[in-house]
Amino acid sequence: MESMRIRPSQFFDSQQPPANLQDIKTRINSFVEKHAKVPGRRIVLVTSGGTTVPLEAQTVRFIDNFSAGTRGSISTEYFLEHGYAVIFLHRQYSLLPYSRHYSHSKNCFLDFMKPDGNGGITVAPQYTPAMLQVLEKYNSVKQQGLLELVSFVDVNEYLFLLREISCSLAKIQERAMFYLAAAVSDFYIPMGKMVQHKIQSGEGALHLELDQVPKILSPLVKEWAPRAFVVSFKLETDPSILISKAKTALARYSHQAVIGNILSTRKHHVILITNQEEKDIRLTKEEQDLGVEIEGSFIHELIERQDRWVAAAAAVEK
């Protein structure tokens, strides 16, 4: 069935770009130009959250992809700590760096507050040290303009935005990393085949036919930013196929690394796969209980590999 898949260029020619694409392009170009002027500054594009697939043009129903944006938002904070500027391409309303510590899925922000006795409110003393730490990091990142947020909802928007941002990053691709943690739909309904109005329920079972989404890593690695360091993610539920699927992706796209993870263990176990190695990264039970984040370990590993890769490329050019 592989031959049925539309080519990326055909996809972009036949689909409608998002209405705000030009504004985002301007914003990203100025972010990239600003950071390109800082000697040695690296930029990473972190993609995060799941894409939807609308079933109707005026969308009432859609298919969603699993991801809360936990991986992407945590990872962004670690990249910022390592001095990277970050473009955070995320699913609208999914977790964001820094505010994720106080997200509604974990806790209610009101529980952190208390009346200050003078008609105002304050942070309850037991939460102040941890919140102050997060606030200081957040303010420093904001003040230095190190984080640019771009949001998407459906797979169409995601692909157009990914192309736009990749082409912008191409200007400094030797200093760029792509960290593609978003859960991107494999199937979609092309605009030409999508119904305009809400699908009616009076006609019995619903039969859907979805086309395959083009494999976007291919133009990203080969055309848009061939000298950038590219990390993709592979999510599986069956551990017996994870490594072979990750290796197949590496061989097919010739990028630099794949992070493999299993749905049920993704928060404490990942496998870092490159052409040279297959490295198991795990948190111990004790680390998990202490709330250690696995991203802290493997992002450090990825940065080391990007350093070596950049150095090797520079040596070849000499």
Closest separation in Å from C-beta 115 to ligand PAZ: 35
Closest separation in Å from C-beta 261 to ligand PAZ: 5
Measured CA to CA, the distance from residue 223 to residue 214 in angstroms comes to 15
Closest separation in Å from C-beta 306 to ligand PAZ: 19
Tokens standing for residue 26: 């301007």
Instruction: Decide if 242 contacts 271 (C-beta within 8 A).
Output: yes
Tokens standing for residue 39: 């000697």
Tokens standing for residue 120: 């105002």
Instruction: Decide if 98 contacts 117 (C-beta within 8 A).
Output: no
Measured CA to CA, the distance from residue 178 to residue 221 in angstroms comes to 10
Interface contacts to ligand PAZ, rule CB under 6 A: 67-71, 181, 183-184, 233-235, 261, 266
Measured CA to CA, the distance from residue 67 to residue 64 in angstroms comes to 9
Closest separation in Å from C-beta 41 to ligand PAZ: 26
Closest CA to 161 of 59, 2, 17: 17
Closest separation in Å from C-beta 229 to ligand PAZ: 17
Give Cα 284 distance to the centre of its chain.
Answer: 26
- From the number of C-beta atoms within 10 Å of its C-beta (0-12, 13-18, 19+), residue 104 rates as exposed
Question: Between residues 32 and 260, which has the closer beta carbon with respect to ligand PAZ?
Answer: 260
Question: Between residues 92 and 144, which has the closer beta carbon with respect to ligand PAZ?
Answer: 92
% helix, strand, coil for the chain, step of 5: 45, 20, 35
Instruction: Decide if 244 contacts 189 (C-beta within 8 A).
Output: no
Tokens standing for residue 19: 């209405």
Closest separation in Å from C-beta 93 to ligand PAZ: 13
Closest separation in Å from C-beta 254 to ligand PAZ: 18
Side-chain-side CA neighbours of residue 14 (13 Å): 14
Question: Between residues 156 and 261, which has the closer beta carbon with respect to ligand PAZ?
Answer: 261
